Amino acid sequence: MCWSAQADMVAGGVVAGVGLLCLARVRRSGHAERLPLGVLPLLLGVHQLIEAFVRLGADGELSAGPAGVARTIWAAIALPLLPVLVPAAVWCAATEPGHPAGPGRRRVLAGITLLGTAVAAPLLWAVATHPVRATVQGHTISYGIGVPHPAVLLTGYLLATVGSLLLSGDRSLRHLGLLTGAGAAGCALLSRLAFLSTWCALAALFSMLLLRWAGRPSYATQATGR
């Protein structure tokens, strides 16, 4: 998205605030299994704040050193971290007592987490060994890092992130997966080169759905009707 550095600052601050509320709700729920997913909105808010510094660097308003650090941190979150964190967090949530996901579905989620880890490995290597480039294109930022086999890795990336939500066994997370998948497809159609920038901004907007999910009663309570 990245309309401007100022817009990213505002959006990132709002999403980070939602993330703090989400963590507070997870803490009140008393279920540590929800914590990894509860952290996601805060991470996405911080990610959006980092992109504000990337934008400042791309506009020449930030010196080369700090701008390079911002690009590297942004890429480290977007590329190797999210395809591992999202499926692992969904798997962790599925271990909550009373969760509708059975052992078979949890094994599938564990397999998707392994897929995400396999996708993250070459992405981590690329971030660690190549400079991250960022170019403003209209209202978006396109990133370049020299990732090998980008189409294959992008497919695995989406299977790990969106796929884990769709297969979570939780209706709210499944809806989140549908919205995220549809939004990601729309972003890719709008701008292939700016896909990751738009995708992460879009994912941050869905933090409100995770906030609602974090505040729900436990599955065991829902089952007993208490």
> Which is nearest to 122 in space by CA: 80, 171, 183?
80
pLDDT above 70 as % of the chain:
85
- Global pTM value: 0.89
For 193, the 3-state DSSP assignment is coil
The predicted structure's pLDDT at residue 184? 73
- Burial label for 149, CB within 10 Å (0-12, 13-18, 19+), is exposed
pLDDT range class, residue 215, cuts 50, 70, 90 = confident
Residue type, 170: D
The predicted structure's pLDDT at residue 220? 59
CB contact burial 87-101 (16+ within 10 A = b; e otherwise): bbbbbbbbebeebeb
pLDDT range class, residue 29, cuts 50, 70, 90 = confident
pLDDT range class, residue 191, cuts 50, 70, 90 = low
Number of structural domains, the chain? 1
Q: What is the pLDDT of residues 32-64, one digit of tens each?
A: 999 999 999 999 999 989 999 999 998 889 999
Q: What is the pLDDT of residues 66-90, one digit of tens each?
A: 999 999 999 999 999 999 999 999 9
The predicted structure's pLDDT at residue 198? 57
pLDDT range class, residue 226, cuts 50, 70, 90 = very low
* Cα–Cα distance, 210 to 23 (Å, whole number): 10
* Cα–Cα distance, 223 to 98 (Å, whole number): 7
Residue with the bigger pLDDT between 204 and 178: it is: 178
Residue with the bigger pLDDT between 199 and 32: it is: 32
Q: Region 89-100: what's the mean pLDDT?
A: 93
Residue 98 pLDDT greater than 80, yes or no: yes
Domain that holds residue 69: 5-224
